[in-house]
């Protein structure tokens, strides 16, 4: 009788390791992208007449008037900047850009050309691998 020895790697840890190698890192919409999408949704609801004004919106949603204003200020961004933000995807736990940071860095001016320039500078600060380059 002949004995055949087969080397076998198995077990849950090995299978998980192999699956991690095959599967690309899952990416999710950035928090700032979700906040901008919320601002667009709230503006549509305001235009449809669901809210009388920002103060009414804040009361009905349980936000402060200041918070509603902060969200709506995101709509003042240049359209190209908004588009890039809406398509930002990051790995879990990675949020290099806060809403406050964006407002301070980019929304300091209403000139869209200047906003685009400031946005490019802000993007350059982050690792290109973390941002969804298009």
* 10 occurs within a structural domain: no
Please state, in angstroms and as integers, the Cα–Cα distance from residue 96 to each residue in 35, 46, 82, 116, following that order.
Answer: 15, 31, 17, 18
* 101 occurs within a structural domain: yes
Domain region containing 93: 29-124
Q: What is the pLDDT along the chain (134 residues), one digit of tens a residue?
A: 777 666 666 677 777 777 666 666 788 899 999 999 999 999 999 999 999 999 999 999 999 999 999 999 999 999 999 999 999 988 888 788 889 999 999 998 999 999 999 999 998 887 554 544 44
Q: Within 10 Å of residue 131's Cβ, how many Cβ atoms?
A: 19
Count of domains forming the chain = 1
* 133 occurs within a structural domain: no
Write down the residue that tokens 């103060």 correspond to. Answer: 55
* 95 occurs within a structural domain: yes
pLDDT of residue 65: 97
């Amino acid at each position: 009788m002949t004995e055949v020895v087969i080397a076998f790697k198995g077990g849950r840890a090995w299978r998980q390791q192999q699956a991690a190698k095959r599967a690309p890192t899952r990416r999710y919409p950035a928090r700032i992208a979700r906040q901008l999408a919320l601002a667009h949704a709230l503006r549509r609801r305001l235009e449809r007449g669901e809210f009388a004004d920002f103060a009414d919106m804040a009361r009905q949603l349980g936000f402060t008037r200041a918070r509603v204003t902060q969200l709506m200020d995101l709509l003042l961004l240049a359209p190209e900047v908004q588009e890039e933000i809406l398509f930002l995807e990051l790995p879990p736990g990675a949020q290099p850009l806060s809403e406050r940071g964006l407002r301070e860095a980019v929304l300091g001016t209403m000139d869209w050309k200047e906003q685009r320039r400031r946005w490019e500078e802000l993007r350059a600060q982050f690792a290109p691998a973390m941002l969804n380059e298009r």
